[in-house]
Structure 1
């Protein structure tokens, strides 16, 4: 099975695997394991698609995937004339589905933040009596405003003009209407750092907005916006005049074997729509709580937003949420068949119909709930659904016999409710604390890997040294700004002045290095300008093969081997690899191998000089002998 371009991109660039081949000894290791961090910033334009290790490790998956999707659409359904078939439609559906999943994750994170008021403090804290604290204090006036900001974002009318910290301004594209990282030098900063467990990610010794940017590249909140953006990927395909929705299974390559899969994008669409509707329902309720007043004359105004362009009032959000839920329900039903009667699909991933898509029921139940909340507001009820003058009349007869009045009974119930609420709050905070502890373990792991990597690199530099400056840069053996060990040209040293080597005795080759992914690198081919068959030269072939473990003729590249070409200069006098005359720079650090080789060359040069002197002396003796005879 030969997979298409999109599937190969997804296999090589995803949430779970190292982005750079770990068999490459010069490749940096990515230690991040935070999904939000891996997704990266919002897509702002097509990014370059190259495989430079540092660039790939820093690239956000959202901007990379969307760039691939745009390029794929340009070559297929957006081409002139358009080119499409079932495989193309499935590939575009697959990539759009992955992007939808990414924004769904961002929406889930923002939604869970909105409905979770707990603050995860550091240390072994079993009880937290700090329910009045909230993370975005100094940006928003109260906890309810924070909840709304996390549900649907903010506007300047809510938070005013927030100044992005100067140190991260060049790194920020746009956070749009989301909540910025709360490094505002106020009381909220401490709570924000504790709750979101902002650590020294970049290792500069301080915890600041730059570290928060790495952890949360798109800021915080706006679950509604994230869900809308996720659904738009599907809507863009459905609205395209050429694209045809496919709900069939397909095959992927797993260790060289074709495995049938069904990504069930129909169910994913319905699940996303249900999440968006649920967030909208909570958004309508929270908006009603923020707008509600006890003034009878103000109750009947519909709680409309004074900013008509923004339209964030109760009635506007009700219309927006209900209309969106209805349209999503219609579209979901249009792409999902009513029933799948094929007997061979029973109990398999092939079966996708409305009876197996439970999110359609959730979506249908949400609209009446939204309508009920709007009706409640229209009738003037308070956010609890009760009239303003209502009084609970639950009287306990036994308590009356004990002398407790109606008021005292209600007071006891209220106190117990508050105590139960505190118990539940502390219990919920324990879950937040466990998540925090897990994040700290992940952070420690990353720091340990980084320290081990630095220690390993230092040890390799002690052995191999660093490359010559002439060997670093675009089109050379090592990439720009490389500061690791010289793993290919470690034999390059200055030639000993004790013996001479003519320029025509240095042979330049281009060798092909194969890497089988098991840290085993071997030479597979060698080419020299003007010499098409090096191996036909037995002496030269033996000299080359003596540098490597395998004979050149015995090596056959495997399909999965990674290949790269290296330029080498080879001595024709049996000295192995020698530094080219074009190298005028120096090594930043010399390794033990260079010291030992330089010492070997010095001793070898002395030996050659002594041998020449001996030969001259022997020649003189022979001449004297012949003269005497």
Structure 2
């Protein structure tokens, strides 16, 4: 936060005239001190106090073997200590740039941060290009490279989206096909009877499929003469003419009717 604030104030108060640079960009109100110098001192001292306090409270190494993961707190696990030190170094660098007369980008006055080929500026050369033409050509090439990278990344993104859509469609097709098979089986076997679904029952809780086990059973709510047919009192048996059944030798014979119809006597 301090380094960003210094950068904003420096961008606002920067001037290219040397007479204005050597003033240190101080605030006219010394008690308020909202200039680059005042904010740099406050921000740097804040980072110094934070770094000193953190190192004083946090031990160098946590020797407790039971502290694992989030419970282990020492200077090797708290990475914010290094971040505080790096912010202090960056604030110091910004303040040095302001004192050296550099602009907020860290570049000297009247410097051109472009790669200019002086050979192309010579009017006697075969190929000539002005400063603007050279910069325009490099900027156009950079934009084309950026567009190529964007198109490549966008192509990968579209492929990922296509794979996601294909996976979703395949999942929906599998669900629809499974539902269709289940409905066809329900048409053939029907649904389970009440009391057969749940813990300890034939089917687990939440089962919505066909009745594989008891499809041949008929659900009878009342056992009476209206629902169960009475036993038959008459029985008709047709006998074919038979006389004797030879068992063993020809001389050993007996009546074959009781033997032939043993289950009915």
Q: TM-score, normalised by structure 2?
A: 0.48
User: Highest CA radius of gyration, 1 or 2?
Assistant: 2
Considering Cα pairs closer than 8 Å and 6+ residues apart, tell me whether 1 or 2 has the greater RCO: 1
